[in-house]
Amino acid sequence: MKTYLTYGFGIALLGFIWTLIEFFTGLHSEHIGVESYARMAFLIVAFIGLWLGIKNIRETSEDKSLTYGRGVGAGSLISLFWAIGGAVGSFIYVSFINPGFIDAMVELQTSKLEAKGISSQIIDAQISMMRKMMTPIPSAIFAIIFIFFTGFVFSLIIAAILKRAPKETITSV
């Protein structure tokens, strides 16, 4: 369990640090349109962290084997702790560090919708729903779902690559 916690919360901590770097470099304010690309780049870091966690599970097993199911299970547990840590980080960020982030996201979305020529009634309805969904608690819940799903998909891929059959032992008759 320690390995799952270590790697899961480690990825979450890196994600929180990544978010703070985005914040301090202006990606959550004046350069907010670029933030989604920076967030995608973090997924590479998260993939590597999950890879290392699953690989650690394989290498610390007695026979250094890893079945596909065990790899997916290990990756899912790491992802669960990553999701919990990510949700806590998201809640802290939008509640205390950058409470204006939600307003900035709403403004960005509004300008994108207006640029597409969408009517003001539809924009108002979408913005109203967005404001309800982007408060700290729903944001944290969404973070858990998104992070866990992302980690699960990554685990499916990583486990397929890292799987290793147990070494067969010869027994004497």
Does a structural domain hold residue 92?
Answer: yes
Residue 169 lies in a domain: no
Residue type, 10: G
Domain ranges, residue 156: 2-162
Domain count, the chain: 1
Q: How confident is the model over 8-58, as pLDDT tens digits?
A: 999 999 999 999 999 999 988 888 778 788 889 999 999 999 999 999 999
In angstroms, the CA 160 to CA 162 distance is: 6
- Tell if the pTM clears 0.85, that is, is over it: yes
Q: Give the tokens for residue 144.
A: 């858990």
133-145: pLDDT as tens digits: 888 899 899 999 9
